[in-house]
Chain A
Amino acid sequence: RKEVEQDPGPFNVPEGATVAFNCTYSNSASQSFFWYRQDCRKEPKLLMSVYSSGNEDGRFTAQLNRASQYISLLIRDSKLSDSATYLCVVNDYKLSFGAGTTVTVRA
């Protein structure tokens, strides 16, 4: 079983829609969690850390469910510029990356 698994998508949504997707992780001892955004042929960039109580940054909301070992990312009011691949990253004494979920926002 992979350490971090994501639905690759793609999630195709119209502008203004809400899109949400999850990431599961295998190591229950994982300590910290992040969402990174990666545009085509570019480097990953930190989108947000994920805190135990859940956290929000503008239109982006991240949740952590330790019991079920998954984290989620929700994007409200999608913009064309949100089109990207979203990488789930889990710290289990080293960072483990998921392969990413692709989101395409259409006009």
Chain B
Amino acid sequence: DAMVIQNPRYQVTQFGKPVTLSCSQTLNHNVMYWYQQKSSQAPKLLFHYYDKDFNNEADTPDNFQSRRPNTSFCFLDIRSPGLGDAAMYLCATSRGDSGGYEQYFGPGTRLTVT
């Protein structure tokens, strides 16, 4: 019973070619998050949605955009991927964004940029 689903699991894109990663959830959680995680590093929060309210982290590059058309789905768009954007992209959900609630992660999309 997958609760947070990410597609695709592996994505290869060319330098500069736009790519979209998707996330869906069956938990009916209010908050959806996108993280970037590189090898041996902590997950880095890119942005999150509380319902339809978008919250961008100050150091998230403009190259990264997100859309949340409804409660269940959230997309991460990388407009012009660079080699440094190769990473695991994790989607997570939680009931609220006070941080007191646990986050549930999807399996991630591993992005390779060639």
Task: Tell whether, in the assembled complex, residue B100 and residue A44 are in contact, meaning their CB atoms are under 8 Å apart.
Answer: no
A43-B107, A43-B108, A44-B90 as given contacts; A97 in contact with B102, CB under 8 Å: no
Range of interface residues on B (Cβ < 8 Å) = 10 to 19
Question: Of B45, B104, B110, which contacts A41 at CB under 8 A?
Answer: B110
Q: Does B99 contact A (CB under 8 A)?
A: yes
For chain A, the count of residues having a C-beta within 8 Å of the partner chain is: 22
Partner of A4, one of B42, B104, B105, B107: B42
Pair B103/A100 contact, Cβ less than 8 Å: no
A84 within 8 A of B: no
With both chains docked as a complex, state the minimum distance between the C-beta of B87 and any C-beta of chain A, in angstroms: 12
A57: min CB distance to chain B, Å: 14
Residues of B within 8 A of A4 (CB): 42
The contact of B42 among A32, A34, A43, A97, by CB within 8 Å, is: A97
Tell me how far the C-beta of A90 lies from the nearest C-beta in chain B, rounded to whole angstroms.
9
**Interface of B with A (CB < 8 Å)?**
40-43, 45, 88, 90, 97-100, 102-108, 110
Once bound together, how far apart are the Cα atoms of A32 and B51, in whole Å? 22
CA distance A93 to B100 in the complex (A): 8
Is A92 interfacial (CB-CB < 8 Å)?
yes
Contact with B along A2-14 (1 / 0, CB 8 A): 0010001000000
**Residues in A neighbouring B97, C-beta threshold 8 A:** 94
Q: List residues of chain A with CB under 8 Å of any chain B CB.
A: 4, 8, 31-32, 34, 41-46, 49, 87, 91-95, 97-100
Contact A32 B99 (CB under 8 A): yes
